[in-house]
Structure 1
Amino acid sequence: MNAPFAVSTQAVQRSEVDELLVAPSLERRRLQCYLALLVGDLVALLAGFALAGWLYDTGRGLQMALVYGQVLLPIFLTLALYNAAYSTEALRDGWRGIFRAEVSMVVAVVVVVFVQFLMKSSAELSRGAFSGGVICAMGLIAWSRLQLRSFVHWRCGANVINELIIDDGGPQLRMPGAIRVSAAAMGLRPNLKDPDSLDRVGLVLRNIDRVVVSCPADRRAEWAMVLKGANVDGEVLDDEVARLGAQGARVTGQHGLLLVSAGPLGIRERAIKRIFDVAFSGGAILALSPLLLVVALAVKLQDGGPVFFVQRRMGRGNRFFNMYKFRSMTQTLCDSNGNVSASKDDQRITRVGRFIRGTSIDELPQLFNVLLGDMSLVGPRPHATGSLAGDKLFWEVDRRYWQRHCLKPGLSGLAQVRGYRGATDQESDLINRLQSDLEYLEGWTIMRDLHIMFLTARVLVHDRAF
């Protein structure tokens, strides 16, 4: 008599489980993709060396190249695994996976060559076959991974992982590719005193890799506790983090701390940037010394006033410094506070001043600021404290304005090479510059500085350089 009832109960439970599952598992499919990438790299490496060896010497070259490939293969695979060439990020971004695989290949080659050098057996190494094999293998690895993009998309979809947003009455959150469910519609409650409620949440989170809960502040603690036991990467939405601009969090004792600021450059990056600044500015001052002397003489002869215009500007760490420029305005009308931006037909500008401003020569004395360490060659341009955008002070337009002072101000910057210079007649003129400055702060590299310096040469003479 009890058997039919038991079967019926199991059927209902199975039906409820199927109803609450919001996504199929992608874990096994990701493993299949990792394996496909690994096999593809293995075949590409050996095929590359085989091809190079056959082209180098049909018989003996092929045999030697395959030996080189077999020696390189385990080192490459070890480094590739360590370098996350077979990871979720590599599946998500094909080019990032290719970059990590190629870096692993380069390091593996360096290791093999170094070992050959230590063993003093480099004479046995056919440089042509080995070099050709490395080049062919790297090319085939990139090609193989690009071909496998369609396989990854077929097995795992565009997002690679299952992301879930649980809407429990909090702010609306948009995440491309994420699954969205309503807590009310699904009957999900973070009730820590009700095992049945927790079981229901667990069923919904089955096969989910990452979940974000958007709920009112009074339910965040309960959801946080539920997610801790859910075997899933869980996050609770809190807009206070965005308002504070928090970059991370940690717990000290019984207190939670939000990281709201951090130096954008480490000591190594600062050292590289400073060496570049000193070397370039010092060399530029020596090379341009005849021009600097001629301009200084022309400014002096114009009206007998001082050669340099010195203005207090805001620099790194929100600290003031004296910035130098060749004086381009009449001495009596110089605006030391920068309350009035120069305009195209500004009557305060002298004849010499109009030329040096139009060619950006008036900015050259700032090379001495760079040499002294007050400025850098590339960075956010320093502004006078009284500068206005429309009828507002710069920091009144956007409170993010102060963030730009975490780096040394620059002789040129990303905003300047994009054409955002000259008078700030409207608030949008400042916003455009600020956006570029904040973008520059997000990802500094010496190559980016070199690129900006190269682009600066193209905008020295500019229709807004007045």
Structure 2
Amino acid sequence: MYIILVVFDVLAVVGAFQLGMIARYGTIGWQSAMDVVVVTLPIYILTALNNGAYSIDVLRRARVGIARSAAALVFAFASFLFISYYFRILLFQPRSATSVGMAASFILLITFRLILAQIFKRVIGQRITSDVVILDDVVVPVPAHYQVIDTASTNLRPNVRDPMMLDRLARRLRGVDRVIVACQPEQERPWAVLLKGAGINGEIISNEFDQVGAIGMGSFDGRSTLVVAAGPLSTQSRLVKRVFDLMFAVPALIVLLPVFVLTAALIKLDSRGPVFFRQQRVGRGNALFEVYKFRSMHTDRGDAAGSVSASRDDDRITRVGRFIRATSVDELPQLLNVLFGSMSIVGPRPHALGSLAGQQLFWEVDERYWHRHALKPGITGLAQVRGFRGATHRRDDLTRRLQADLEYIVGWSVWRDFAILVSTARVVVHKNAF
């Protein structure tokens, strides 16, 4: 639907200036007045993306979309007039065609938006978003257009100490926009913890505020709900982050291909076993995925669960493995994870299920651990550039990293990703990398 809106917005502007050409020359074509379209359309699209002209609110309420898109169009035309004043572009344009085109752009844009709103409503009805209701030992009436998940029949009882349950929940919620949970009061807090790390808009039907850390109020079928979690990135921000990832990953894979080939050859010559080490890690929304790394340990002495951190004199590490770990070359295959979409260039580092801080599993140290998975894991992150890497012998080793990860999620921006990426160059070789 977003793509359809963009296409018809573009058609509105192009069509409007064609009307201007008819008014001026009596025919359609690409005369000089159409150059205005070339200048204004990119400005309009970028402004519309930034001010939310393509968002869930717009799909639900046509008037919101009209107001935001019209504001973006005003800014685009104002920018063109400003540019033309300094570069004398307008002197070479037929003013009558340009004036008609600008005025007709607003008329066609509003018309198309109203027509599309009616089409969307007839075709999709109230199912603009994918909404799920989770019933956990509670029975509430649910409107027909909501999906229903019963925890008893799907084995989805909330348990923050069970990564497999979190993985099952993540897979059931993939592609969902909003989750409403109806549960017993004693289960509200566990559900709140799970939803906060799911990277999704989550609400709990409840009368209690403080226990679950509500961040707002919502409603469901006449009942009040507490908003306990919100997806950290909008559709536009996720798109920007994905483009940023691909713009870096694709060229990097091409440039580093000789390094990949040389490293693979050295690994095969040094010890028996596969070139790549694959291990399940916790990813976005607490779903499990396979991470790729160059194998740095002897195959028969590897640690698939990740419960034993590598030490400085670890005899499991091969000769080549010691070098590629010290220089972080072993992490390069994660560019493939970025290419396939399971990781980002920048984000919280993915951990193995068996990772320990002292004698405790990571999620046993701090229940906020699951919150860090609201974004895709990254090859590098804020914790890494601050020097928080290597083995986690104490609880504090995890707490510092967790605090940095949560800080990154709350304050994400593409410029911060770029700054972290640049800063990573300083810590590629680090005293804690072994």
With structure 1 as the length reference, what TM-score do the two structures score? Answer: 0.50
Aligned runs of 1:301-380 on 2, under 5 Å?
A: 301-380=269-348
Give the match's secondary structure for 2:325. Answer: helix
CA offsets 1:94-143 (integer angstroms, 9 cap, x no match): xxxxxxxxxxxx999847615748993699xxxxxxxxxxxxxxxxxxxx
Find the aligned partners of 1:315 and 1:270 in 2 and give their Cα distance: 16
Question: Which of 391, 395, 404 pairs up with 1:427?
Answer: 395
**Residue 243 of structure 2 aligns with which residue?**
275
Give the match's secondary structure for 1:422. Answer: coil
Question: Which of 418, 423, 427 pairs up with 1:455?
Answer: 423
Find the aligned partners of 1:242 and 1:371 in 2 and give their Cα distance: 41
Larger Cα-atom Rg: 1
Check the 8 A contact 2:266/2:320 in 1, yes or no: yes
How many equivalent pairs are there?
247
Closer/same/farther in 2, CA of residues 241 and 460 from structure 1, 3 Å limit: farther
Question: Which of 283, 288, 307 pairs up with 2:256?
Answer: 288
Is 1:113 the counterpart of 2:82? The answer is: yes
Give the match's secondary structure for 1:465. Answer: coil
Check the 8 A contact 2:382/2:408 in 1, yes or no: yes
Question: Which of 373, 385, 391 pairs up with 1:417?
Answer: 385
- CA RMSD of superposed structures (Å): 2.5
Find the aligned partners of 1:462 and 1:119 in 2 and give their Cα distance: 55
Query: Which segments of 5 or more consecutive residues in structure 1 lack a partner in the other structure?
Result: 1-82, 84-105, 124-238
Find the aligned partners of 2:352 and 2:246 in 1 and give their Cα distance: 25
Check the 8 A contact 2:272/2:299 in 1, yes or no: no
In the TM superposition, residue 406 of structure 1 has moved relative to its aligned partner by 1.1
Check the 8 A contact 2:272/2:298 in 1, yes or no: no
In the TM superposition, residue 326 of structure 1 has moved relative to its aligned partner by 0.5
**Residue 19 of structure 2 aligns with which residue?**
none
CA offsets 1:393-429 (integer angstroms, 9 cap, x no match): 0000000000111111000000000000000000000
Check the 8 A contact 2:284/2:375 in 1, yes or no: yes
**Residue 122 of structure 2 aligns with which residue?**
none
Quick one: which amino acid aligns to residue 337 of structure 2?
Answer: N
Quick one: which amino acid aligns to residue 388 of structure 1?
Answer: L
Quick one: which amino acid aligns to residue 368 of structure 1?
Answer: L
**Residue 264 of structure 1 aligns with which residue?**
232
Give the match's secondary structure for 1:449. Answer: helix
In the TM superposition, residue 255 of structure 1 has moved relative to its aligned partner by 2.3
Closer/same/farther in 2, CA of residues 346 and 398 from structure 1, 3 Å limit: same
**Residue 440 of structure 1 aligns with which residue?**
408
In the TM superposition, residue 248 of structure 1 has moved relative to its aligned partner by 1.1
Give the match's secondary structure for 1:370. Answer: helix
Closer/same/farther in 2, CA of residues 427 and 297 from structure 1, 3 Å limit: same
In the TM superposition, residue 240 of structure 1 has moved relative to its aligned partner by 5.8
CA offsets 1:221-267 (integer angstroms, 9 cap, x no match): xxxxxxxxxxxxxxxxxx96454232211344552211111111111
Quick one: which amino acid aligns to residue 90 of structure 2?
Answer: K
**Residue 355 of structure 2 aligns with which residue?**
387
In the TM superposition, residue 294 of structure 1 has moved relative to its aligned partner by 0.5
Find the aligned partners of 1:285 and 1:119 in 2 and give their Cα distance: 42
**Residue 298 of structure 1 aligns with which residue?**
266
Closer/same/farther in 2, CA of residues 450 and 242 from structure 1, 3 Å limit: farther
Find the aligned partners of 2:290 and 2:385 in 1 and give their Cα distance: 24
Find the aligned partners of 1:244 and 1:385 in 2 and give their Cα distance: 26
CA offsets 1:283-332 (integer angstroms, 9 cap, x no match): 10100100111011001111121111111111111111110111111111
Query: Which segments of 5 or more consecutive residues in structure 2 lack a partner in the other structure?
Result: 1-50, 52-74, 94-206
Find the aligned partners of 2:430 and 2:417 in 1 and give their Cα distance: 20
Find the aligned partners of 2:294 and 2:210 in 1 and give their Cα distance: 43
Find the aligned partners of 1:109 and 1:407 in 2 and give their Cα distance: 37
Find the aligned partners of 2:309 and 2:208 in 1 and give their Cα distance: 37
Find the aligned partners of 2:248 and 2:89 in 1 and give their Cα distance: 42
Identity among equivalent pairs (%): 54
CA offsets 1:325-382 (integer angstroms, 9 cap, x no match): 1111111110000010111111111111110000000000000010000100000000
Give the match's secondary structure for 1:260. Answer: strand
Give the match's secondary structure for 2:313. Answer: coil
Find the aligned partners of 2:84 and 2:269 in 1 and give their Cα distance: 68
With structure 2 as the length reference, what TM-score do the two structures score? Answer: 0.54
Quick one: which amino acid aligns to residue 375 of structure 1?
Answer: M
